[in-house]
Structure 1
Amino acid sequence: SAMSHSLSRLRLLFDDPLFERKGHKMEPTEHAHHIAPTVHHLLDSIAKDLLTKSAFQPENYAGVCRIGLTDYAEFIFAPRLYDEIRQRAPEAQISFINVNRSNYVALTEHEKLDVIIGSMPVLDDNFESLYLYT
């Protein structure tokens, strides 16, 4: 099994059996007891530092914001969106892309749009939609 293989590798690495059978139980060796606090600390560090996702910090974002807008949505929202993104994510690049009812699905797939703003039907289950205005 994968567990047996991993334990075999650890035994070679530490030059110690690490666990020994005592009756019907496996007991840690003296060396296993000795290294246990360090191993516990390392596993905690890995869980905390590597496996925990930090919250998005727009002030540190230097990528591209690709925003699809219909003609009307661009007229109404683009200036304010631009100003807000500039203020909150000064290193970000902003790309406004014109979309309409017939091209937004293809453009989303091709251009990798982050968000689309406009009045259009949701034609695909892969899209999540929210009513912003009427």
Structure 2
Amino acid sequence: MDLNLVRVFVAVAETRSLTAAAARLYVTQPAVSQALAKLRRDLDDPLFQRSGREMVPTPLALSVYPGFRDAIAGIDRTVDAVHRFDPASSQRLFRIALSELGEIGWIPAIHRAVAERAPGMRLEVVPMDVAELPEWLGRGSVDLAVTPAPVPGEFAQTVLKSQAYGVAVSQRHPLARGEVGLADYLAAEHVRVASDSGAANVDAALRRVAAPPPPRVSINHFAALPPLLAGRSGLVATVPDTIAAGWAESWRLVVRPLPFEMAPVDVRLYRRSTTQHAAALDWLFATVAGAIRGSSGQFGVIHGDAVAAG
């Protein structure tokens, strides 16, 4: 079988688009269509059927895709080993999906690590959407993703950190003194951050003993959380405890243990399953993992002063 036909098949399977596949392969869309027509004859199957703007794979296409993908990836890695990927000369753009906290805490370390060895490589941070991650990683819309949320699918991954959660409150709040009981926790007025990709883990742990209380206030950004808690709002928040402890150094906050059992959450780095630029992605995956593991995070940049914290 013509290897170029296999490349076309893999590109269409991953992008679900003839136009996007052509752009990835640096060929015209008619060339992709012609290659796909030949492959359909060779395999005696339509392989893809148009549904709206998407090329939906047939059962046969789904069954042969993993083998074709792995074959292309193996060939590309072999060729890359001969030519040796050189990060110093790379001009590639890579996209990393990060939550707001991930962007605040780790993008400085990631940028430093990449810029030291690959000064021409470009990075783009994509706002985290946990529900879309399987699609993004499966099609290659993003190259890497960092999240504590489990991502369904067969994606290469590695654990970066284990993160516990705690209850953050103002120093003036009644829950700031003594042990936080479950009844008091459930009765408190909670604030929830929409961009917290670990919130589902908290809810799952809490559901083992009680129904999660509805939030009194919902906000979009973690940056708004410390001043909201430190003021006279009477709100509480369930957040990563080490991050909240950092905020407590400059905001009038305290962090208390959760009143229910919750195992630390593993923060994982995921990589896309698509085949393009395998050697460069191998390098970036290892570099980002090392940068985050070696960083304590820059979460303290959300800090207060004597006026704002009061």
Where on the TM-score scale, by shorter chain, does this alignment land: which range? 0.5 to 0.7
Residue 51 and residue 97 in structure 1: after superposition, are their counterparts in 2 closer, same or farther (change >3 A)?
Answer: closer
| Deviation larger for 100-109 or 60-69 | 100-109
Q: Deviations over 1:90-122 (max 9, x none)?
A: 111111111232121223345532211121103
Residue pairs, 1:1-134, within 5 angstroms: 53-109=82-138, 112-125=141-154, 127-134=155-162
Residue 99 and residue 84 in structure 1: after superposition, are their counterparts in 2 closer, same or farther (change >3 A)?
Answer: same
Q: Is contact 2:134–2:151 with CA below 8 Å preserved after alignment? A: no
The residue number in structure 1 matching 2:256 is none
Greater C-alpha radius of gyration: 1
Partner Cα separation in structure 2 for residue 107 and residue 77 of structure 1: 21
List runs of 5+ in structure 1 lacking aligned partners: 1-49
The residue number in structure 2 matching 1:47 is none
Q: Is contact 1:67–1:115 with CA below 8 Å preserved after alignment? A: yes
Q: Deviations over 1:33-64 (max 9, x none)?
A: xxxxxxxxxxxxxxxxx785333221011110
The residue number in structure 1 matching 2:17 is none
| 2:97 partner letter | G
List runs of 5+ in structure 2 lacking aligned partners: 1-78, 163-310
| 1:74 partner letter | E
The two structures have a TM-score, normalised by structure 2, of 0.25
The two structures have a TM-score, normalised by structure 1, of 0.54
Q: Is contact 2:96–2:125 with CA below 8 Å preserved after alignment? A: yes
Per-residue deviation at 1:69?
A: 1.1
| 2:108 partner letter | P
Partner Cα separation in structure 1 for residue 121 and residue 80 of structure 2: 26
The residue number in structure 2 matching 1:21 is none
| 2:156 partner letter | E
Show structure 1 runs of 4+ deviating over 4 A: none
